[in-house]
C-alpha cells in the first residue's frame, strides 16, 4: 500500500458517544501559525484549505479546533468552514471552550460559567453550524470544574452541543464531570517526551470507562533546550524510524495509537506532504520490542 492510497480508516475507529471516528484525526491549531498557534507565520491560506480538503478525502472524520485558534492572519474555524462546508454527514468537529482571547489576540482569564454559551455560539457562528458535535471544557487551573461543566451540560440539553469532553484535567476532575453528564473524551498532555503521570492515569481510567483519550502535543514534544535524557530518547525514536523507513513524527503517532484502542491522535499540519505522512502512520505497527525500547527511553526523561 502506498502513501497515496492509505486512508485514516487504516488507524481503526472508536466512538465519541454515538459518533464513530477514525482514530487518526486532524488538529487545526497549526493552520494559524506555529505549534503555539498565535505565534509564527501561518500556512498559506490556499494551502491550508487544500490540506483540510485532502484530509477529508483521505478519510479523516474527526477535526479538533477552537474559536481561540487564530492569528492576525488566520482563523482555524473560518478555514474549516471555507474548506469543508457543507459538511459531510460523518464529519465530527470537536471544539474547546474555557480559554478566550479578545479581538487583538490578548488572553483573558478563564471564561466564567455564564460566558460559555457565548463561546459555544461563537464557534457555531464561525463554523456555520447549528450544533457542535463535541465540546471540550479546557480547565484553566481551577480546582473544581463542576460549575463550568454544568453550564455546558445545560447547553447539551438545549441541543447546542451533542457530546461533552474535558481537557487539561486531573483524574479527580473526570470523576467530578461524570457526576454531572456523560464524558465522551478527555484531552490531556501525553506523549513520548515525558511520563505525564496524570495523563497515564487518565489513559487507564478512560480505557476502563470506554471514553476516548486524546493526547495533545504528542508529536511536537517539549521543544526548546533538551537534556541528555531527551537526546537519548530522540536517538531511540530515530532508530525505530530508520528500521521502518519512516519519519520520527510517524513513530510518535504510531506509539500514541499503540497506547490503547480508545486513544485518538490529532496531529496537525499545514503541509500537504506531512499530512500524508501523518495519515500513513496509522498503518505503522511497532513490535513489542520497539515499544519496550521507546518506553524505556521515555521513562529516562523523568
Catalytic residue positions? 69
115 close to 73: Cβ distance less than 8 angstroms: no
Kindly compute the dihedral angle of the four CA atoms of residues 200, 202, 205, 208, in this order, to the nearest 10 degrees: -80
Distances in Å between the Cα of 280 and the Cα atoms of 114, 190, 238, 273 are: 42, 21, 17, 11
Strand spans (E) along 48-176 = 62-66, 92-97, 132-138, 161-167
Gap between the Cα atoms of 118 and 124, Å rounded: 10
- The gap from C-alpha 130 to its chain's centroid, in whole angstroms, comes to 22
Cell numbers at 283, concatenated: 498503518
Indicate the length of the chain as a whole number.
Answer: 302
CA distance 49 to 79: 6
Which residue in the block uniquely carries the three cell numbers 454544568?
150
Amino acid at each position: 500500500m502506498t502513501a497515496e492510497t492509505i486512508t485514516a480508516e487504516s488507524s481503526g475507529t472508536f466512538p465519541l458517544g454515538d459518533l464513530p471516528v477514525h482514530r487518526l484525526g486532524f488538529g487545526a491549531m497549526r493552520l494559524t501559525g506555529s505549534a503555539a498557534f498565535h505565534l509564527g507565520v501561518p500556512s498559506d491560506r490556499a494551502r491550508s484549505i487544500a490540506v483540510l480538503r485532502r484530509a477529508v478525502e483521505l478519510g479523516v472524520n474527526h477535526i479538533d479546533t477552537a474559536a481561540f485558534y487564530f492569528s492576525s492572519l488566520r482563523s482555524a474555524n473560518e478555514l474549516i468552514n471555507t474548506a469543508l462546508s457543507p459538511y459531510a454527514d460523518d464529519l465530527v468537529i470537536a471544539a474547546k471552550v474555557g480559554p478566550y482571547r479578545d479581538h487583538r489576540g490578548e488572553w483573558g482569564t478563564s471564561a466564567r460559567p455564564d460566558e460559555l454559551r457565548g463561546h459555544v455560539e461563537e464557534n457555531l457562528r464561525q463554523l456555520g453550524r447549528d450544533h457542535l458535535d463535541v465540546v471540550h471544557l479546557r480547565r484553566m487551573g481551577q480546582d473544581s470544574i463542576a460549575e463550568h461543566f454544568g453550564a455546558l451540560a445545560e447547553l447539551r440539553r438545549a441541543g447546542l452541543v451533542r457530546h461533552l469532553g474535558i481537557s487539561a484535567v486531573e483524574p479527580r476532575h473526570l470523576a467530578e464531570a461524570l457526576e454531572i453528564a456523560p464524558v465522551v473524551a478527555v484531552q490531556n498532555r501525553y506523549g513520548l517526551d515525558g511520563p505525564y503521570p496524570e495523563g497515564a492515569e487518565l489513559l487507564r481510567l478512560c480505557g476502563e470507562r470506554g471514553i476516548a483519550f486524546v493526547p495533545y502535543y504528542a508529536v511536537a514534544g517539549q521543544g526548546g533546550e533538551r537534556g541528555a535524557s531527551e537526546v537519548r530518547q530522540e536517538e531511540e525514536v530515530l532508530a525505530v524510524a530508520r528500521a521502518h523507513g519512516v519519519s520520527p513524527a510517524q513513530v510518535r503517532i504510531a506509539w500514541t495509537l499503540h497506547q490503547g484502542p480508545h486513544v485518538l491522535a490529532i496531529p496537525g499540519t499545514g503541509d500537504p506532504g506531512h499530512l500524508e505522512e501523518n495519515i500513513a502512520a496509522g498503518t505503522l505497527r511497532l513490535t513489542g520490542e520497539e515499544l519496550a525500547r521507546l518506553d524505556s527511553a521515555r521513562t529516562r526523561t523523568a
